[in-house]
Amino acid sequence: MADQESKRIVCGICGILLGGFGVHRFLLDDAKGGLIRLAITVVTCGAGSLIGLIEGIMYLIKTDEEFVKEYQVGKKAWF
């Protein structure tokens, strides 16, 4: 595993509060994922923001090591 500082807490909170705007994905250097989540939210009139809420909760459930391995190093795109 790379020696990276975990962004788990920041991404988790942003996912819960601003997930519909894809902010948590932009923080993980995934602009494409952030734009997709933003588009889904616009097309579904806000209902798509549930994806960000779910992802934020999942980020906070994981340990720092798991988060870094899956999302920062592995660049896991969804959930």
Q: How far, in Å, CA of 18 to CA of 22, rounded?
A: 7
Q: What does R_g of the chain's alpha carbons equal in angstroms?
A: 12
The mean pLDDT of 44-72, rounded to a whole number, is 95
Query: 4-30 pLDDT, tens per residue?
Result: 789 999 999 999 999 999 999 999 999
CA dist 47 to 20, 35, 38, 50, Å? 8, 16, 11, 6
pLDDT level of residue 77 (50, 70, 90 thresholds): confident
Share of the chain above pLDDT 70, in %: 95
The mean pLDDT of 48-58, rounded to a whole number, is 95
Whether residue 12 contacts residue 57, with contact meaning beta carbons closer than 8 Å, is answered with yes
